[in-house]
């Protein structure tokens, strides 16, 4: 049996996916964002429809949005965070599957105005076609790291 280049490529991709799945499952707790304190997103907000706000510990407020809407798989997303009451040194958004490890997917946002941060991201496609995601906005100040998780569905 002769194996051509395309068969070798397919075999290599399958092995790489298996290794990624095994390593991701084994080390997924290490990939989740760490925080000193956690903020609380407003109950019932749906990122597929509008921006969502959160109350930050010790005062402050955050608003987070993802566009386009509805939120698609495998297409460029624009994420925006507006923060008041704290002065961030860095803002990132970490995307994780709620019930399935989808690998490391974190975007660093750029400051475009005082308290306003924007960046690009994308969501990988889930084999099930539908997925509940947790977008954790991580705000680092000079004193602490604040994380605010936002849950949303894609493909439902």
112-147 pLDDT, tens digit each? 999 999 999 988 876 667 788 899 999 999 889 999
Whether 11 and 43 map to the same domain: the answer is no
| pTM score, whole prediction | 0.74
Whether 39 and 58 map to the same domain: the answer is yes
Token couple for 144 = 């602490």
Distance, in Å, from the CA atom of 41 to the CA atom of 63, rounded to the nearest integer, reads 9
Whether 27 and 41 map to the same domain: the answer is no
Note the pLDDT of residue 76: 92
Note the pLDDT of residue 37: 81
Instruction: Quote the Cα angle for 145-39-109, to 5°.
Output: 55
Whether 52 and 120 map to the same domain: the answer is yes
59-100 pLDDT, tens digit each? 899 999 999 998 887 789 999 999 999 999 999 999 988 887
Q: What is the CATH number of the domain that holds 73?
A: 2.60.40.1930
């Amino acid at each position: 049996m002769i194996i051509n280049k395309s068969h070798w490529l397919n075999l290599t991709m399958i092995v790489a996916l298996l290794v990624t799945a095994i390593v991701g499952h084994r080390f997924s707790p290490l990939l989740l964002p760490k925080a000193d304190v956690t903020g609380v997103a407003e109950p019932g907000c749906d990122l597929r429809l509008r921006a969502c706000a959160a109350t930050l510990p010790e005062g402050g407020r955050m608003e987070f949005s993802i566009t386009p809407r509805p939120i698609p798989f495998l297409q460029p997303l624009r994420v925006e965070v507006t923060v008041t009451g704290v002065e961030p040194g860095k803002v990132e958004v970490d995307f994780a599957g709620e019930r399935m490890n989808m690998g490391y997917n974190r975007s660093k946002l750029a400051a475009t105005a005082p308290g306003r941060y924007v960046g690009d991201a994308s969501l990988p496609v889930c084999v099930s076609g539908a997925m509940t995601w947790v977008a954790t906005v991580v705000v680092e100040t000079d004193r602490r790291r604040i994380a605010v998780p936002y849950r949303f569905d894609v493909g439902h």
